[in-house]
Structure formats: C-alpha cells, structure tokens
Amino acid sequence: MANAEANSGTGRRRGLCAGRIGFIGLGRMGTAMAANLAAAGQDVVAYVRRPEQKRILEALGLVPTTSFSDLFERELVISMLPDDAAVQQIAFGRKDLGIAGLLMGLMPRAIHLSMSTISPTTASQLASEHARNGQSYVAAPVFGNPDAAKARQLFVIAAGAPPELARCQPIFDLLGQHTFTVGSTPATANLIKLAGNAMVAANLEILGEICALARKRGLDAEELLAIMTGTMFGSRFHQIYGSKIAGQQYRTGGLVFPLALKDMRLVLQEAEQAGVPMPTLSVVRDRFITGIARGYSELDWSALGLLAAEEAGLSVAPGKSPATTKLGSPTQQEPLHARSTR
C-alpha cells in the first residue's frame, strides 16, 4: 500500500507555491516546523491569537499575525493542531463570531496541508469540503517529537491527490527525514498515524510494567534495558523511551497524556466501527485516564512507566533514580515519591 519515498533534493526543485506558506498551530511541534521552513527561505506567515507571541516568532524568522484572514492569500496553509475540533474550527470558521475559516477564505487551488493527528472521519470530511470549494486537502501527520522536529528528523505519512502531493513534497523534504506516500485518500494517512501511536502506547505500558518488576525484584532496570535493546528490542523507540522509563526520567514535552488519550479513543472508535476487538488498547486508554486523574496531564506519555511503578508500590523522587543493584543482586527498594513535571 505504501510507497516509501526517500528524501532528496529533487523535491525542492519542483517549485512549491513560490514559498508562500501559512502556518496555524504554533505549539512546540508547530513552532519547530515553521522555524525550519523559514530558515530554509520560505515566506511563512504564522497565525497566533496572542500578540505577545509575535516577538518570539519574529526572532525565528516567521511573519506573525493575529489576523486569520492574512492566511487567505497563501497558496498553502499548514495546520498542526491538537485535535479534530481545533482543525474543524480553523477550516469551517466561527459563524457565531462572523469569522471565516479556510474553506471560505482560501483561494482556488490553494492547499490545506493538515499535519495533525486527527480522525480519518474528519480528514475525509475536510477533503470533501475543500474539493467542493475548489481547494485541495492533503493529510500528512508525522511521527516524531519536538526534538525530532527541530532536527528535521520527522517521518511524514502523506496522502492526497498526486499533483498536490508533488506540490507539497518540497515542504516534506524540509521538515522530515523520510516521506511515506500512502495513496490518494487523506484518511489513510491519519489511520496509519493512529495505528502507530497505538503501538507506541501499548509498548510504553509493557516497558513500564517490566521495569517495575525489575525494581521490585532488586534488579537494575537500566542494565536490564541495555540487555533487551542489545538483543531482541534494539529499535530507536525502545532505546529512547525505554531509557526514560528505566531511568525514571519523567518530564514535560513530547505527547502529553490528554493528547495520547485522544489518540487511543480515536483508534478504539475506528476498531469498533470495523468490528475489531482491541482489548490491550482498552487497558492502555484507561491507564491514560488514570494518569490524568493523578495529575500527570503535562507529562510525556512515557510516564505510563510512572503509573506502573506506583501501582507496584514504587515511585520516583524528583531528579533522582532509585537505588538499585546489578542484575542478580536483589535489594530492598526504598519507597519513592514524586510527581514532578520538570
């Protein structure tokens, strides 16, 4: 199904929209992505709601605006927003406030490039409505965290009409290390992204449980992880997130619990509609609910490991790893506490 297209310099010669780009969604991910585009010479107008944000964005080479209509003359507008409701609002506007959205304001043949993790249903709706208005819609959610975004190391999952994908490819080349083109139906890209996030979340849960078991039995969780990643589980995912959990380094940033919960709900919704039981993911969804209830809304989703530790009678002190011994040398773990979001 997927045609993997490696990054190359060829895309940059295809001439996207004379470099005229709008950007909506200036969170940590969006800001890093927009800044990379500006650093590469693109003319990027960035929409923000608060005037005090302008100075920060100007320092990054962006052209900030608090007027949404300034995006309407752009030939491509990128949205990097947290959920379906946010994307729908910027697309459809607010009739109650007399604010036009992209559907009413974009010029003919302009592209709305949605790089958000949203539901396939919303992606299909937006594609249909943009087509009705003579515009184009491309879905291109990404795998990667804010650090990967800064380093232009994102993986882009892109779907849309071939001519529009060709116009967007130079942007993908500037933002990521690899683009996977997965067909002409935008919803496909969003379903693949949700499937990937489901796999990450399920793996984070089992990593947390295994590390909790190691600590309760007096093993060095970091040494255990080194063995696992040096044998059967050597992926970047296991190395990066495993080190956070084994080292009990739970911080803000990355995909926070509420957004991870949103994604699990979307995957389970797709599964229910398709008649596919996903009992493991149902458990993981409830784990995110538990974390939010305990006040971990600002923590990266690797803090599923913190929940596993707590339920095993363990916890982690701010900035400290618990005392452990080497493999094969059981010792009593001291109870730790901490819900630091630093």
CA geometry: angle 205, 207, 211, nearest 5 deg = 120
pLDDT of residue 317: 53
Specify the pTM: 0.86
* pLDDT score, position 338: 30
pLDDT at 252: 83
Which among 150, 193, 216, 320 is annotated as catalytic? 193
What confidence score (pLDDT) does residue 185 get? 98
53-78: pLDDT as tens digits:
999 999 999 999 999 999 999 999 99
Q: What is the pLDDT of residues 130-184, one digit of tens each?
A: 999 999 999 999 999 999 999 999 999 999 999 999 999 999 999 999 999 999 9
User: Strand 176-181 relative to strand 3-6: parallel, antiparallel, unpaired?
Assistant: antiparallel
Q: How confident is the model at residue 253 (pLDDT cuts 50, 70, 90)?
A: confident
Residues 6+ apart with CB under 8 A from 64: 45, 46, 47, 48, 53, 54, 57, 58
Residue 97 has a pLDDT of 64
CA angle 249, 252, 253 (to 5 degrees): 110
Contact predicate 281/263, CB 8 Å: no
What one-character-per-residue DSSP string does 126-174 give?
A: HHHHHHHTT-EEEE--EE--HHHHHTT-EEEEEBS-HHHHHHHHHHHHH
Q: What is the pLDDT of residue 277?
A: 98
Q: What is the C-alpha to C-alpha distance for residues 80 and 117, in angstroms, rounded to an integer? A: 8
> What domains lie within the chain, and their CATH numbers?
21-184 (3.40.50.720), 192-312 (1.10.1040.10)
d(CA 169, CA 258): 31
Tell whether the model's pLDDT for residue 19 goes beyond 80: no
Q: Say how far apart CA 20 and CA 11 lie, in whole Å.
A: 16
User: What is residue 94's predicted lDDT score, i.e. its pLDDT?
Assistant: 84
Give residue-wise pLDDT tens across range 289-326: 999 999 999 999 999 999 999 999 997 754 443 333 33
**What pLDDT, on the 0 to 100 scale, is given for residue 323?**
35
- Could you give the angle at which helices 186-216 and 120-132 cross, rounded to 10 degrees? 160
pLDDT tens-digit map of 189-211: 999 999 999 999 999 999 999 99
193: annotated active-site residue? yes
What pLDDT is attached to residue 95? 79
Mean pLDDT of the chain: 88
pLDDT of residue 328: 38
How confident is residue 245, by pLDDT bands cut at 50, 70 and 90?
very high
Q: Is the pLDDT of residue 332 over 70?
A: no
Contact 29, 201 (CB under 8 A): no
AA identity, residue 66: T
Distance CA 71, CA 23 (A): 8
